[in-house]
Amino acid sequence: MGAAPMTTCPLCAHDGSAVELEGLSGVDGVVRLLRCGDCGLRFIDPPPPRDRPHEIAITRVDAASALGREGTWLSQRMSGAVTALALHQKRRAQLGWLRRAGVRAGDRLLDVGSGSGAFVAAARARGVRAEGLEPAGAQSVDHRGPVPQGTIHPGTIHPGTVLDVDFPEDAFDAITLWSVLEHEPAPRETLAKLAKWLRPGGVLLLEVPDAGSRIARALGRHWPALEPREHACHYDQRTLTRALEAAGLQDVRVHAGSTVAWRQHGSELMLGLASRHRETLAPFWAIESRSAALRAGVLTAFGVGAAVERALGESRLIAVARGAGRSHAGITSSRAGE
């Protein structure tokens, strides 16, 4: 059973949203993208189920993965090598953000939507007391990245969602959400709870697709990060900043950037362009492969996707915020009481 339709904004509770896109393919049928008339949040109506595992491998739509699934033995070997490199680049970028945010060895960290626990393992290897939270537990997630033996200990990955579990207030020095918040259909409640778990002065780091990016605007319904079967909410710099501040966090800074390797970005972009301009690219579509991902991968391999993205700019946001007091109860519509 799918979720019930809604028009009330899940972030500010404003009851007045405009339809931005219709006829999207959801988990249980056709859905639409709404935009709040007050805070500007874009959200899927009805939202996808919230018990789906958050972390999918970095190269889920990567051209090399498509080659590996559908190609020859050689292409499969190439796919594995590129996947490992992309995962390494992603973990390195994530750990770099931790370091710049002041997270040190001995700090307690919660990674929300931890998937198989690969990031948790990488953080623990650097002395951080990291643990994860994953809806279905680490074992159920299809993650193609290697997790070092002995680094994921019993109890390190907690099953459940933010709204399902409870930790003491001020329990963590750092909380991370890498490509997770867009999956949450109840962002107001989720962020408020995370703010309570974060100690005053602790750091919250998160990454989401940028719904206000030039890439998103150019591709519209063909924007790969739209993903109406998985992503419940979409943020731009304004809505993400407002959401974090209203949750009680302070010193909020939202950057245009990404921890995702360029190869995934290029593949996602080419998938969107290929879908939007299917008729224009009809001769190219006549080549032997039936896979849109594989065709996009050919273009990506020649650097077309990366070149277009460099011209259009970043397509994701990274936010850094600090734990504060407990005075905020959550975001409310600026039109409440009108």
For 312-331, what is each residue's pLDDT tens digit? 556 899 999 999 865 444 44
Q: Please give the DSSP secondary-structure letter assigned to residue 3.
A: P
Tell me whether strands 108-112 and 172-178 are parallel, antiparallel or unpaired. Answer: parallel
Q: How many domains does the chain have?
A: 1
Residue 188 placed within a domain: yes
Task: Yes or no: say if 158 and 132 are a contact pair by the CB < 8 Å rule.
Answer: yes
Residue 33 placed within a domain: no
Between CA 233 and CA 185 the distance in angstroms is 7
What CATH number is attached to the domain comprising 216? 3.40.50.150
Task: Yes or no: say if 194 and 169 are a contact pair by the CB < 8 Å rule.
Answer: no
Residue 10 placed within a domain: no
Residue 55 placed within a domain: yes
pLDDT, position 218:
87
Task: Yes or no: say if 228 and 24 are a contact pair by the CB < 8 Å rule.
Answer: yes
* Whole-prediction pTM: 0.76
Q: Which helix (H) or strand (E) holds 299?
A: helix 292-301
Residue 29 placed within a domain: no
Query: In terms of residue numbers, what domain contains 249?
Result: 50-322
Residue 334 placed within a domain: no
Residue 127 placed within a domain: yes
For 90-121, what is each residue's pLDDT tens digit? 888 999 999 999 999 999 999 999 988 889 99
For 16-72, what is each residue's pLDDT tens digit? 899 999 999 888 889 999 999 999 999 999 999 865 544 443 333 333 333 344 445
For 204-216, what is each residue's pLDDT tens digit? 999 999 999 988 9
pLDDT, position 172:
97
Q: Give the pair of three-digit tokens for residue 152.
A: 């994921």
Residue 38 placed within a domain: no
